[in-house]
Structure 1
Amino acid sequence: MAVDFTEKAKRYQAIDEIIASGRKLKWNQIISELWDKYNIKTSRTSFFRDIEDLQEKYQAPIDTDFETSGYFYTDPKYRLPRFYTDENAAKAAKLIKTLMDMVKGNPLYKEAQEVFESLSIENHDLSIENIRINKKPDNDRIIFVGAPNKSIPAETWRIIDEALKQNRVITFVYQSLTDPRPYKRMVQPWQLIFDNGNWNLHALDIVKKASRRYSLGEMKNIQMTKEVFKLPKDYDFRKMTRGSFGCMCQADYLDYKIHLHGYAVRYAKNRIWGENQTIVPDKKNPGPNGDGIILSFRSNQLYSIQHWTWQWADEAMPLAPKELVDDWLDKRAKVSKMEL
């Protein structure tokens, strides 16, 4: 069962306060005080594991008295640095944990968890005033919503993780949106990309000799070969595009002009969508509320921009390039012919 980072931090902090009191309490006395004073319930096994972690990970100078078997600090001045235990910091910890849970299953999750626990101790003010326990901080006032991620098999994660570490070619069966049926792919895995709740593999298609992005949830029968490749210097997806419209991009850059009004204006005006971006009032077509703008930028993400423009319905109208305008007009014509 996963451990709530904030609960673990509060337990460590309470143990630190008890040992630092100099009373040399035995393990069972400390467990009793954790419950009576701090409302923290723990077992004998968990307590000894906590003591071991405090000694090994955080260099707490903990020892037991030869005569009483009570715990004490060999350095009386030692205090454990402040954890995420005050109300605001506990909220921050919960926020980070929620973000981490969004990518659970990735082999890097465990490493990120360990780093998080270390940072929660090592990078905080050591003053006594900051060491305190808040039993029930309000941790549920900030949440994340969205479509649930498609479950990715553990074996897929394992193979891709190993292939990335060893620069090994992998094969899998995959059907893209334009394929009539699934095909076997052979690729050099370059980079994992988390885009809008979906994990994608940025890779070189060896047969087509071109970079492609593959959704991990759609990969079937994935296998790692013995073939080793040399990672190119320009493998990074971020060098191919700004990525403002996700992880889909093409080779050719185009200049875009899109009319927006209504909520689309408020959404778009504070973001960077591409190179050479400008936003000017649309005096010719100000829209029903007079807030119309023309958003201009340069990008190589045509397919994603086509989808993005269409999703705004009547609040967006493409002006350029021709590829975007024609796609929008074609979609509008098809919708007009639909019978409800």
Structure 2
Amino acid sequence: MADNKLRNKQGLTEEEFLKNYDAGKYERPSVTVDMLIFTVTNEERKSYRKLPEKALKLLMIKRGDHPYIGQWALPGGFVNINESLEEAARRELKEETNIDNIYMEQLYTWGDVGRDPRTRVISTSYMSLVDSETLNIKANDDADDAKWFTVSCKLYQEQKTVTQGGYILQRLFELKLSNEEDNLSAIVKVVKTVENRITTVEREIVESHGIAFDHAKIIQYGIERLRNKIEYTDIAFNLMPELFTLTELQQVYEIILDTELLKANFRRKISGMVIETNEYTKDSGHRPSKLFRFNPNWQNLIEA
């Protein structure tokens, strides 16, 4: 508890200081929140004997007002003076897309001076993984539309320069978002500098087509974090229904990581994270497969 009897250099107690404090002494930037809502969906089967292929998708909203009117952006909006960042994120998500009561985690705060043409805006991004079949997406508020986009982010150029105290690693990522009607894209440059054991990372949008603000940069970072977190957390299970096959789970890991995994290695890695049930799939066209469920106590098994 603060000692209200202590006085500052001007001889004021804390009570006196706060009573006379001028909140307009410093210019105050606006604060916003932006949400990355990921899901994995089943695409149409090319053959009824094969399992449906999966696709990583991201929810985007079409802007109905300036700036960037008609372009696609992440769901989000301004934080009210009387609400927390998370409260604002949940409110905006509900208002713009009709999504409510989902798990979200804070990712990063974006504060480049010119990132919003309206005014100085600092934005905190959040990420969530959801089972889209449980959601009723509906555009509301100032959004003209809300749609899922199939998203891919691929490294296509890399250059490493060794310096006296470390190195500079420059990477170019190609970001693509598409659905039946729209195709969006961007090139994001990520420069990692290591100098005398101090590491800095800078991101720059080289080009962007149809993606509003600096959201291409936020999306690239979100996918990077998602790929890192799926390796050591249970975040992928937010994408799964209550019961699933191990093949379906592996497909989700593969589509997020954008790589094929060895079946034996994958099953050994996630063995403690799942619980075997006595139920089987009833799909026609191929043999029934055993169903599993998520084991909420898997971390206790590791720590034991």
Identify the TM-score tier after normalising by the shorter chain.
Answer: under 0.3
Q: Which structure exhibits the higher relative contact order, with contacts defined as CA atoms closer than 8 Å and separated by 6 or more residues?
A: 2
TM-score by length of 2: 0.21
Higher normalized helix content (fraction of residues): 1
Higher normalized strand content (fraction of residues): 2
